[in-house]
Amino acid sequence: MSTPLTEREKQALLHLARGTIASWLGREPSPSEPTDLPKGDGGAFVSLHRRGNLRGCIGTFATDQPVVSTVREMAVAAASSDPRFPPLEDAELDDVDLEISVLSPRRIITSVDEIQVGVHGLSIARGAHRGVLLPQVASRYGWDRETFLEETCHKAGLPIDAWKDPATRIEIFTAEVFAEDDPV
């Protein structure tokens, strides 16, 4: 999305994501789309945290559908399809906090010096291997640029120094990140 989201839009997206997960769990009917949601297309990630620990995170850079649809789809995917975790159970939902990252388009970098830790997320790919880490991950763990690159390579299933190989594609992006536990 090109324009920043308003606080009202952020809260509406978080409410929609939670309601969509609750519907997937069979707790309630699928929520209708409020009229105060952003209209633009965009990629997004939805992250679930339970008691401060990651419980699921799935996203897409695809921008061929409205960000509202992307958030709905990624909310269910984070709850049901993150291969690192079993599907979310109904009893867990009340303990889960949601975080949404609305993504900018990715761009290829020519030098790792372009990476601003805490501002940029990374997408690293070589062959069939690909790993993505959101901008807030490096900040959360206190990583420097090199550690961020190494951890993204590790997530991609590549050697940690694969970022130094010219055959490795490194892209950066930004994200507008907001969570249920953010002060309004």
Q: What is the pLDDT of residues 97-134, one digit of tens each?
A: 999 999 999 999 999 999 999 999 999 999 999 999 99
pLDDT tens figures, 157-181:
999 999 999 999 999 999 999 999 7
Quote the pLDDT of residue 42: 81
79: pLDDT confidence band, cut at 50, 70 and 90?
very high
pLDDT averaged over the chain?
92
Q: Does position 184 have pLDDT exceeding 60, yes or no?
A: no
The CA distance from 51 to 162, in Å, is 34
Quote the pLDDT of residue 30: 81
What CATH class is the domain 7-103?
alpha beta
For domain 107-173, give the CATH superfamily: Hypothetical protein ph0010; domain 2 (3.30.1490.150)
Q: Does position 2 have pLDDT exceeding 70, yes or no?
A: no
Query: Domain boundaries in the chain?
Result: 7-103, 107-173
Beta bridge partners of 41: 66
Q: Please calculate the CA angle 102-40-173 and round it to the nearest 5 degrees.
A: 35
Quote the pLDDT of residue 86: 97
HEC profile for 15-76? Answer: HHHHHHHHHHCCCCCCCCCCCCCCCCECCEEEEEEECCEEEEEEEECCCCCEHHHHHHHHHH
